[in-house]
A and B are shown apart, each in its own frame.
Chain A
C-alpha cells in the first residue's frame, strides 16, 4: 500500500468522507506510529484551519490500546460459560413466571393438569363436535346474551329451545329435589320456574 494512498485515506476519514474501504485501510494501518503521527499532524492542521482548540500531544488511542493489552485474558474465558448459563436461567425464570401467571390467572390449581390434558383431548376429538362449533357458537350466543342473560328471563326463542328448555329446567329441579336431602330449597327453585 503506498504511503500516499494511505495519507489520502487519512485525509478523507478526517473530513468524514471516507468510504468503507478507506476506513478499513486507515484502521489497519493505525498500529503504525508513523501513521498515528501523520494523523495528529493532520489534526493540528485541521484545528488551525478551523481555529479549534487543540491539545496537541494527547494520544488517548495508544493509552487505551495499552490498557486493553494488559487486560487479563483468562477473565474472558471464565465469564463465557457463566454468562450463557445466566442467560438460560433468566429465560427459564421468565418462562416459569409466565406459566405461573397464566395458572394463577385461570385460578385453576386443582385441575391445571387436567385442563392441559383436556385441551389435547378436545382437539383430538374435534370431529365429534360439529365443525368449528365453539367459535361460531360464541358469536351467536353473544347475540343472545343481550336477551335472556340480561334480565334472567327466558325469552320466547322460536322452535326447539322454546319447547324443550322449560321442561328440562323443571325436570332438573324436580330430580334435584327428589334426590336431595330434605331441604326444601330445590322445591322452591322448581316452584319459581312454574311462576313464570
Chain B
C-alpha cells in the first residue's frame, strides 16, 4: 500500500504530457490563423553565420486578401511586394520564369503532419519586441531535419521570433522582431518604391515536361513530399534546369538537375548559415547531369538525397505528385 501515495503523482504525469502537446498544437493552429487574419507592421532582424540584416514589414489583411511589403532597412534596399502569395514586384536579381509555379495557395501549417516528424511542445514563456510570448519547440524525431523554436505572441499568435538549431543545439539562424504594431498599414505604406520591378507573369504556354525531365529520388528523408516540379530554360547557358521542391510541413529543400555539356565539374559541398548546397555528378542514360540539393537540412541528408536522384519515373510507387 506504500505505492498508493505515488499513484496520483503518476497519473498527473500521464495527463500533463498530452496536455502540453495539445497546448502546443493549439498554438500552431493560432499561428496558422494569425498569418491569414492579422494585420501588422514592424521591424525584424535576420541573423545567420556571416550575415546580419534589418527589415521592415507591412502586412495587411483586408476582406480575406493578404497584401504584404517587405523592405530591407540596411545596405541594399531589397524590396518585395506580395499579394495573396503572388510576388508582384521585386528588386535585385529575381529569377525570372519562377512565376509559372502554380499560384501558391498559402499552405496552412499542417499540425498533424508536423507532429509526425517533430515533437512539438511548449517549453516556456518569454518576451519579444516588448510583448509576452510563448515558446514552442519543434524537436526533430530523426537526424534529417533541424529543430525550430518559435516564439509566438500571446495576444495575436504571430511568430515574433524563430530560431533554427542543429542537432548539437547550435544556433543556425535567428529571425526576431524588434518592434511590432498590430494596426493595419495604410495604402501608402504598402506602395512599392520606384525601384521595385514588377514581376511579369511568365509565358503562358505550359512547361514541357519530357520524359527526360522526369526525375525521382530513390531515397528521401521520411516525411518529405514533392510539392512542385518545374523545368526552366536558363537564359545564360541555354540548358534546361529541372527543379523540384520538397516539404515536410515545416522545412523545405530544392533539388536542381542540370545537364553537363561535357564540362568536367567537381562535386561541391557548401554551408551558408542554415542553408546547405550539395552538388553531385550523376551519370544517366541522357548523359552527365549535375544534381544540386539546396535547403535548410543537415549536410549528410542533402548528400544522400543528391546521390539518390534517378532519371525517369520511380518504378514501385511514384514519389509525391507530379
The 8 A CB mask of B273-289 against A (1 = contact, 0 = none) is 11101011111100000
Q: Which residues of A contact B142 (CB under 8 A)?
A: 107-111
Please list the residues of chain B having a beta carbon within 8 angstroms of any beta carbon in chain A.
32, 35-36, 44, 46, 48-51, 53, 55, 57, 59, 66, 68, 70, 72, 75-76, 78, 80, 85, 87, 92-95, 98, 101, 104, 106-109, 141-144, 159, 162, 173, 175, 218-219, 221-222, 227-228, 234, 236-237, 243, 245, 247, 252-254, 256, 258, 260, 263, 265-275, 277, 279-284, 290, 292, 294-295, 307-308, 310
The 8 A CB mask of A153-196 against B (1 = contact, 0 = none) is 11001011101110111111111101111111101110111111
Cβ of B270 and Cβ of A165 under 8 Å apart? yes
- Give, as a whole number of angstroms, the nearest-CB distance from B230 to chain A: 9
Q: Which residues of B contact A176 (CB under 8 A)?
A: 245, 252, 254, 295
Cβ of B218 and Cβ of A172 under 8 Å apart? no
Among A7-15, A73-81, A82-90, A125-133, the stretch in contact with B: A125-133
Cβ of A134 and Cβ of B50 under 8 Å apart? no
- Give, as a whole number of angstroms, the nearest-CB distance from A144 to chain B: 7
Question: A140 at the A/B interface (Cβ < 8 Å)?
Answer: yes
Top 10 A-B residue pairs of the complex, sorted by shortest distance between their CB atoms: A188-B46, A152-B49, A172-B294, A172-B254, A182-B35, A192-B51, A160-B265, A176-B252, A191-B78, A152-B50
A172 CA / B54 CA spacing, docked (Å): 21
Cβ of B70 and Cβ of A184 under 8 Å apart? yes
A144 CA / B66 CA spacing, docked (Å): 44
The 8 A CB mask of A117-146 against B (1 = contact, 0 = none) is 010011001011110011001001100110
- Give, as a whole number of angstroms, the nearest-CB distance from A149 to chain B: 6
Question: A148 at the A/B interface (Cβ < 8 Å)?
Answer: yes
Cβ of A137 and Cβ of B277 under 8 Å apart? no
Cβ of A179 and Cβ of B227 under 8 Å apart? yes
Q: Which residues of A contact B218 (CB under 8 A)?
A: 118, 121-122, 125
| Binding site secondary structure of chain A | helix
Cβ of A188 and Cβ of B307 under 8 Å apart? no
A178 CA / B35 CA spacing, docked (Å): 14
Q: Which residues of A contact B266 (CB under 8 A)?
A: 140, 157, 161
Known pairs A181-B109, A184-B55. 6 more at Cβ < 8 A? Answer: A130-B281, A148-B269, A152-B49, A175-B254, A182-B36, A195-B51
Which residue of A has the minimal Cβ distance to B50? Answer: A152
Cβ of B284 and Cβ of A128 under 8 Å apart? yes
Cβ of B49 and Cβ of A175 under 8 Å apart? no
Contact A195/B245 with A154-B272, A185-B162 known, Cβ cut-off 8 Å: no
Q: List 18 A-B contacts (CB under 8 A).
A: A108-B142, A122-B218, A128-B282, A128-B310, A129-B280, A130-B283, A161-B279, A164-B258, A169-B294, A171-B256, A178-B101, A179-B247, A180-B106, A181-B109, A183-B162, A187-B70, A192-B273, A194-B78
- Give, as a whole number of angstroms, the nearest-CB distance from B47 to chain A: 9
A107 CA / B141 CA spacing, docked (Å): 9
Cβ of B70 and Cβ of A178 under 8 Å apart? no
Which residue of B has the minimal Cβ distance to A160? Answer: B265
Which residue of B has the minimal Cβ distance to A150? Answer: B271
A187 CA / B68 CA spacing, docked (Å): 12
Cβ of A181 and Cβ of B32 under 8 Å apart? yes
